[in-house]
Amino acid sequence: MIWPKVRLSINYHFDGAVKSLRERKKAQARDNIVAAASGLFDRNGYQSVTMRDIAAAADVSYQTVYNYFPGKARVLHEVLLSEARSVEQQLFAAVSPSSNDWPGLGPAMDHLVVSVFRMLKLHERGYWRTITAEMIRQPETFGSLMGLLDAEFRAGMAEILRGARERGEIASNVDLDVLTQVVIYLIDHGALRVISLPTADVDQVADEVGRQLEIVLTPYLLAPSDASP
């Protein structure tokens, strides 16, 4: 009875390898579609791009695109999620309070602001205005995305402030939830200025937001002599 068991084991591992390869190919095809769509949206504008354009750029069939995404708005959803996650990962990895390279709260906040506004430079302003309009027009598609990204960014921001408090850089009685909300509001307001005002200079607005955050945070900062050992 040993042979049937060996045979079953071989079949199990073979099927698992085939399934894993198939899943990797599907994931790669999906990534290719998202990457191709991102380039098309950026070059040609979201409104003028069709699902057939995306299929051609990704070198897949028209039906294949629909196998992964029910419509163009859902493709855009994935493009925005991918870009935002990439920026968030790079950002919070660089300023994690648990890192031995923690630069201090001030430099960490400067890095945060620069990274957020650098993301706005990934696309033309007209692109962002169109995307913002689509988000408002299709809340059923983009509402969950905005909620998810807001929650993730809020969690990362709260971790930075919590880490600074544990390191004795800000007062222990600070309400971190409120402070996190104020920081996010200032950054969001600056980003909307860049998107909505054609004459707004990205770097200048980033500098202004940095100064505003400094004003907000300064009353809660502890001098090194006041910090807990």
**169 pLDDT more than 80:** yes
Give dist(CA 157, CA 159) in Å, integer: 5
The CATH number, out of the four listed (1.10.10.60, 1.10.8.60, 2.130.10.10, 1.10.10.10), of the domain defined by the range 1-69: 1.10.10.60
Digit-coded pLDDT (tens) for 36-61: 999 999 888 888 999 999 999 999 99
Q: Which pTM does this prediction carry?
A: 0.74
Q: DSSP letter for 219, please.
A: G
Please name the residues in contact with 78: beta carbons below 8 A apart, sequence gap of 6 or more. 34, 37, 69
**Average pLDDT over every residue of 68-88:** 88
**158 pLDDT more than 50:** yes
Assign residue 82 a region: left if phi > 0, alpha if psi is -120 to 50, beta otherwise?
alpha
All CATH 1.10.357.10 domain ranges in the chain, comma separated: 72-229
pLDDT at 85: 81
All CATH 1.10.10.60 domain ranges in the chain, comma separated: 1-69
pLDDT at 229: 43
The CATH number, out of the four listed (1.10.10.10, 1.10.357.10, 3.40.50.261, 3.30.830.10), of the domain defined by the range 72-229: 1.10.357.10
Give dist(CA 40, CA 127) in Å, integer: 11
Please, what is the angle between helix 105-120 and helix 72-94, to 10°?
160
pLDDT at 114: 85
Digit-coded pLDDT (tens) for 64-76: 999 999 999 999 9
Helices (H), 95-220: 105-120, 125-137, 139-166, 176-196, 202-217
Digit-coded pLDDT (tens) for 184-213: 999 999 999 998 888 899 999 999 999 999
